[in-house]
């Protein structure tokens, strides 16, 4: 067999592939015969024979090396070898001609940005994350031509650099016309992949490359998916610019094979030595405190926040489902709301450095579609619309850090509801309906509504975030700048010691783990540890939940809801993972309860009554505020009743009528004064009210 191909100068060269075909014939019959026989039974529903590159290298190292440098000729020889085996399909209708695809290339850690002109027409392998995918299109594989003069026909395989024939071989007339109905087509699909986020150097833009999938590979990837790709770097013809032909070429990857990487957060190589160190570290009785101190050792204090971030990094037990098959969320979401200059952004940056897969976005630069999914004009396909993955989709399996959370527009923040609760995003844009996976833990930071917290008011009233979104966070930490001389002295000493190069209290070697081993420790726990809720821990959580509900019933408020019960379980499971324990023990439940109780005391306490009220977060108004609004509505209704028969409502009569609704005189006069101050009512004359805008 002789294969013609063009060199860089465009000159056609010929290569005799007969020895290579024979070599592949021996390779397939000795090593892959069972695979080929299995493929025969399912062909053409499966059309590809997957060949392990390592096996080919052991069989013949020279041909394995040539595969990388001359992939076109070697793959052609491999596919020819299978055809010449003359294997019969069970149906006997088709010719058995599968694709030969190579997998399991040696790890080279090649990055997209490193692909250069030296790789043109070579086989390369690298990892990336899919950012967008176009619609399936159809390309001619074998073109059928009919002469319009003599009616003779001919078929031409459409290969690289194919030039459509115009002259008929029979009558020599320029009368050939392609007949689409008789031509053979193959499915193709274009996509785009970018560098894996955890491999991008700090501050560097992410490199991208276009992909071309063919035949049985189409529709096999989804945006946001991490993949390992092997394919041939091809050049795209240069475009004419202002009627000038610039000899500047684009590039794309003609995909030969790919493998989906389902590791996500846990995609860290852990050696046997690393595993030994991790297991040894887990036996330390103070391992929980050591890990917490290692998360942000440069930040003084805020132990509860550090503990919450540690639990978020470890996550709950994955793979749990409810009856009926619905998945139970294991990701933990944390929100930090605090006064300016208290290291909120530093917490986010530290977490982003520890998490193997993370995305950091901030404030006004964030849009709803940038967080979730955007619809864009399809430059890869026919110019229609395509969906492009946003930050939460790309960070799926890892963490998303959102700074200046309060600066994001309400409409854009609304896109987070489904992503945070269900770990997916349902999209209906530009006529495309799709669903994307967003299994992402969110760590967000924001400032109070008026810049600083007012300690005399409910803290939850000072959050510039909708209650429905606040309730999606497992833990909400208000970070308040409290004036305390002793604490301020220690903080100043910590910061100044850092600048002077002296060891601080948190730098003690027995209390801080190296960041690299900490990252591997977390990855190992997430990959291998699946703690189950024990009976003692279950009883502890149930007792806490029921006790709070009972107290809420006595005070007439809702102290806790089932959503926080699930959150407690996630936190307890994550705490068990710190010890690499397969069981959630009572002390894990106590840690979870301690954290949630701290948050509830800070943000879910009704300052007017001193009782816990989850509606402070869930609805934005505690019970005392709701009762006050009900009384205001009652006063307004009394005024309206008086105005039906009179020109104005006498304040003394309003106060007297309010008593029949259990509103005492002091409260009634206070509410009337507040209505006057807000401008809802006005005094027509002294002691007589009318409602603004009503007659």
Of 89 and 193, the structure prediction assigns the larger pLDDT to 193
CATH code 1.10.3720.10 for 623-691: no
**Domain ranges for the chain:** 1-106, 109-262, 272-618, 623-691
295 band by pLDDT with thresholds 50, 70 and 90: confident
Specify whether the CB–CB gap between 395 and 371 falls below 8 A. Answer: no
Report CA torsion sign: 616, 618, 620, 623.
negative
- Rounded distance between C-alpha atoms, residue 311 and residue 316, angstroms: 8
Q: Span 398-418, mean pLDDT?
A: 77
228 pLDDT higher than 50: yes
Q: What percent of the chain has pLDDT over 90?
A: 1
The radius of gyration computed from the CA coordinates of the chain, to the nearest angstrom, equals: 34
Distance of alpha carbon 179 from the chain centroid: 47
Least confident of 300-309, 411-420, 491-500: 491-500
Instruction: List the one residue out of 546, 551, 544 whose CA is nearest residue 588.
Output: 544
**Widest distance between CA atoms in the chain:** 112
Distance of alpha carbon 425 from the chain centroid: 10
Residue 44 has a pLDDT of 75
117 pLDDT higher than 50: yes
Q: Span 542-555, mean pLDDT?
A: 78
Q: What percent of the chain has pLDDT over 70?
A: 76
Q: Span 540-555, mean pLDDT?
A: 79
409 band by pLDDT with thresholds 50, 70 and 90: confident
Specify whether the CB–CB gap between 112 and 193 falls below 8 A. Answer: yes
610 pLDDT higher than 80: no
Q: Span 505-513, mean pLDDT?
A: 56
Specify whether the CB–CB gap between 617 and 623 falls below 8 A. Answer: no
Of 275 and 452, the structure prediction assigns the larger pLDDT to 275
- Rounded distance between C-alpha atoms, residue 394 and residue 398, angstroms: 9
CATH code 2.40.50.140 for 109-262: yes
193 pLDDT higher than 50: yes
Give the strand pairing for 334-338 and 475-479. parallel
Beta bridge partners of 51: 102
414 pLDDT higher than 60: yes
Q: Span 425-451, mean pLDDT?
A: 76
167 band by pLDDT with thresholds 50, 70 and 90: confident
Q: Span 159-178, mean pLDDT?
A: 80
Homologous superfamily in CATH for domain 1-106: mini-chromosome maintenance (MCM) complex, chain A, domain 1 (3.30.1640.10)
Give the strand pairing for 399-403 and 137-147. unpaired
Instruction: List the one residue out of 650, 642, 645, 637 whose CA is nearest residue 686.
Output: 650
Q: Span 13-23, mean pLDDT?
A: 74
Could you tell me the two tokens for 160? 């690289």
Q: Span 64-77, mean pLDDT?
A: 86
644 pLDDT higher than 70: yes
What burial letters (b/e) apply to 245-267, b meaning 16+ CB within 10 Å? Answer: eeeeeeebbbbbbbeebeebbbb
Give all strands of the β-sheet with 441-446 in edge-to-edge order: 358-362, 399-403, 441-446, 334-338, 475-479
Instruction: List the one residue out of 131, 138, 146 whose CA is nearest residue 185.
Output: 138
- Dihedral angle, C-alpha 174, 178, 179, 184, nearest 10 °: 140
Architecture of domain 272-618: 3-Layer(aba) Sandwich (3.40)
Q: Span 94-103, mean pLDDT?
A: 82
Q: Span 392-397, mean pLDDT?
A: 76
10 band by pLDDT with thresholds 50, 70 and 90: very low
Residue 572 has a pLDDT of 92
Q: At what angle do helices 515-528 and 344-354 cross, to 10 degrees?
A: 70
Q: Span 671-688, mean pLDDT?
A: 82
- Rounded distance between C-alpha atoms, residue 125 and residue 106, angstroms: 9
Residue 8 has a pLDDT of 40
401 pLDDT higher than 80: yes
Q: How many CB atoms lie within 10 A of CB 474?
A: 29
Helix (H, G, I), strand (E, B), or coil: what is residue 304? helix
| Residue 649, CA atoms < 13 Å, CB-side half-sphere | 26
Residue 491 has a pLDDT of 61
Q: Span 24-42, mean pLDDT?
A: 82
7 pLDDT higher than 60: no
Contacts for 635 with CB less than 8 Å, ≥ 6 apart: 654, 658, 663, 668, 671, 672, 675
Of 618 and 551, the structure prediction assigns the larger pLDDT to 551
What burial letters (b/e) apply to 432-462, b meaning 16+ CB within 10 Å? Answer: eeeebbbbbbbbbbbbbeeeebeeeebbbeb
Q: What is the pLDDT of residues 127-136, one digit of tens each?
A: 888 888 887 8
Report CA torsion sign: 401, 407, 412, 413.
positive
Residue 3 has a pLDDT of 47
- Dihedral angle, C-alpha 277, 281, 282, 283, nearest 10 °: 110
Of 340 and 585, the structure prediction assigns the larger pLDDT to 585
Mean of per-residue pLDDT scores for the chain = 77
Distance of alpha carbon 111 from the chain centroid: 21
């Amino acid at each position: 067999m002789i294969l013609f191909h063009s060199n860089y100068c465009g000159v056609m060269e010929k290569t005799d592939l007969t020895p290579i075909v024979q070599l592949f014939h021996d390779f397939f019959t000795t090593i892959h015969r069972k695979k080929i026989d299995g493929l025969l039974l399912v062909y053409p529903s499966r059309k590809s024979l997957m060949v392990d590159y390592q096996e080919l290298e052991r069989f013949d190292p020279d041909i394995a090396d040539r595969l990388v440098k001359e992939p076109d000729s070697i793959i052609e020889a491999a596919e020819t070898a299978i055809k010449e085996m003359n294997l019969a399909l069970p149906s006997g209708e088709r010719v058995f001609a599968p694709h030969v695809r190579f997998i399991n290339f040696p790890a080279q850690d090649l990055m997209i940005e490193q692909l250069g002109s030296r790789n043109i027409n070579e086989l390369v392998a690298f990892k990336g994350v899919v950012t967008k995918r176009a619609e399936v299109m159809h390309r001619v594989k074998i073109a059928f031509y009919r002469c319009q003069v003599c009616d003779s026909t001919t078929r031409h395989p459409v290969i690289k650099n194919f030039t459509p024939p115009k002259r008929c071989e029979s009558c020599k007339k320029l009368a050939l016309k392609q007949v689409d109905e008789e031509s053979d087509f193959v499915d193709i699909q274009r996509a785009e992949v970018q560098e894996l986020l955890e491999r991008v150097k700090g501050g560097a833009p992410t490199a991208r490359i276009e992909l071309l999938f063919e035949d049985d590979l189409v529709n096999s990837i989804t945006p946001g998916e991490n993949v390992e790709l092997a394919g041939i770097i091809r050049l795209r013809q240069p475009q004419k610019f202002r009627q000038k032909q610039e000899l500047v070429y684009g590039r794309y990857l003609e995909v030969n094979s790919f493998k989906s990487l389902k590791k996500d957060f846990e995609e860290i190589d852990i050696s046997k030595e690393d595993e030994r160190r991790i297991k040894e570290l887990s036996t330390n009785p103070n391992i929980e405190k050591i890990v917490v101190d290692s998360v942000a050792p440069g930040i003084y204090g805020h132990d509860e926040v550090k503990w919450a971030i540690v639990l978020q990094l470890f996550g709950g037990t994955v793979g749990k489902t409810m009856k009926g098959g619905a998945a139970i969320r294991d990701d933990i979401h944390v929100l930090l709301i605090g006064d300016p200059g208290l290291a909120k952004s530093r917490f986010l940056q530290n977490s982003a450095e520890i998490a193997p897969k993370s995305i950091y976005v901030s404030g006004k630069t964030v849009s709803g579609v940038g967080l979730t999914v955007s619809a864009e004009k399809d430059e890869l396909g026919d110019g229609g619309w395509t969906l492009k993955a946003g930050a939460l989709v790309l960070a799926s399996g890892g963490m998303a850090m959102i700074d200046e959370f309060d600066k994001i527009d309400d409409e854009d923040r609304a896109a987070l509801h489904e992503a945070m609760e269900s770990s997916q995003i349902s999209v209906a844009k530009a006529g495309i309906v799709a669903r994307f996976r967003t299994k992402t833990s969110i760590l967000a930071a924001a400032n109070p509504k008026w810049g600083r917290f007012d300690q005399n008011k409910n803290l939850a009233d000072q959050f510039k975030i909708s209650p429905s979104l606040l309730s999606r966070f497992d833990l909400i930490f208000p970070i308040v700048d409290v004036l305390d001389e002793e604490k301020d002295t220690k903080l100043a000493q910590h910061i100044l010691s850092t600048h002077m190069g002296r060891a601080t209290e948190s730098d003690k070697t027995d209390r801080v783990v190296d960041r690299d081993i900490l990252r591997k420790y977390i990855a190992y726990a997430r990959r291998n540890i699946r703690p189950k809720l024990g009976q003692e821990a279950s009883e502890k959580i149930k007792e806490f939940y029921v006790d709070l509900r009972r107290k809420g019933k006595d005070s007439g408020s809702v102290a806790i809801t089932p959503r926080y019960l699930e959150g407690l379980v996630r936190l307890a499971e994550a705490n068990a993972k710190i010890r690499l324990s397969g069981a959630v023990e009572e002390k894990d439940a106590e840690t979870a309860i301690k954290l949630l109780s701290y948050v509830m005391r800070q943000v879910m306490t009704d300052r007017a009554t001193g009782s816990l009220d989850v509606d402070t977060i869930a609805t934005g108004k505690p019970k005392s505020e709701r009762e006050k609004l009900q009384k205001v509505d009652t006063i307004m209704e009394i005024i309206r009743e008086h105005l039906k028969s009179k020109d104005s409502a006498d304040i003394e009569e309003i106060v007297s009528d309010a008593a029949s609704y259990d509103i005492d005189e002091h409260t009634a006069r206070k509410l009337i004064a507040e209505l006057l101050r807000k401008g809802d009512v006005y005094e027509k004359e002294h002691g007589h009210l009318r409602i603004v805008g009503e007659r």
